[in-house]
Amino acid sequence: MKKECVLVSGGAGYIGSHTAVELIEAGYDVVIADNLSNSDFGAVEGVRKITGVEVPFVEVDCCDREALKTKLFEQYEFQSVIHFAAFKAVGESVQKPLEYYRNNLTSLMNILDLMREFGRQNIVFSSSCTVYGEPDKQPVTELTPRKPATSPYGNTKTMCEDILRDTVRATPALKGIALRYFNPIGAHPTALIGELPRGVPQNLVPFVTQTAAGIRECLSVFGNDYPTPDGSNIRDYIDVVDLARAHVVAITRMIEGKNKQPYEVFNVGTGNGVSVLELVRRFEEANGLKLNYKIADRREGDIIAIWADPTLANEELGWQAKRNLDDTLRSAWAWEKHVRGIE
């Protein structure tokens, strides 16, 4: 039987590369597409090493509809797409709103337009818990009202969800699932792929690991005066491999026709809220290290606290987060050491 093929846009990125591995290990053929603007070809090589499969890679910008058509849709027989390709830094989006709206909306619209033209059927969209804004109560469920986003990045996720929902509604042959995920951290157990930010990291854990490695002099904790037990922000930190598995389950659900509606939404998180200062402490304990950190001013666009109620994903998708936080933080440090050549 011919294997199903899945296009992974943004597949050289952090979550995309881990998802490509999980897809291949679940028996799917994969095509990776990426413009390498905020990712690295080394991630594709890592996917190939881990799986032993010479995964096809196409360098293409999803904002270029003609290139997408000729390099991907005309060349490969995938029926399903997992769409990661997007700009993703909250703080940067506040400074560069037009770039974020242009890139994140256009790339999805081009993918959907070509899926309709070529009769491709299933899409998983990489959404985010940022669509909930500053929620009134925790944990958030899929029925928690979406609120005005606190950043243009978050706003693009809300808008993209609506674009996907409306396109699926207007296209009987098309099915879509939006996965709203929380804060992915960690790396593959092999330490062959992980989070490799360009320049100054925008996310907490790469900043933590770079500080531990001596790349950064000091870790900044943005605010200790939030109304939380220790004054720092609270997030739901999910292992990237667990998150990647959720995408495989979502694609399989649509391929096997088990989706209950043409468009569905699921939270993908652990259900545990962990503060920034607690995460720093857990990293130190898990890896036997001391971190140099300081309290800095609050960061624009950051919300106080958010964590998931993952019940719907647990029950409907049969998915749940498995790896514990300490193991995840150990994997993040193993990856950083691998990248830096630290023994």
Provide the residue count of the chain. Answer: 343
CA dihedral over 182, 166, 255, 310, signed as positive or negative: positive
CA gap 210, 283 in Å, rounded: 12
Matching residue, tokens 């939030």: 226
C-alpha dihedral over 45, 50, 53, 58, to 10 degrees? -30
- Among residues 28, 100, 132, 153, the one annotated as catalytic is 153
- For the question of residue 293 being annotated catalytic, the response is no
CA gap 43, 205 in Å, rounded: 18
CA gap 109, 319 in Å, rounded: 28
CA dihedral over 15, 18, 21, 27, signed as positive or negative: negative
- CA-closest candidate to residue 229, choices 132, 138, 327: 138
> Any idea which residues carry the catalytic annotation?
153
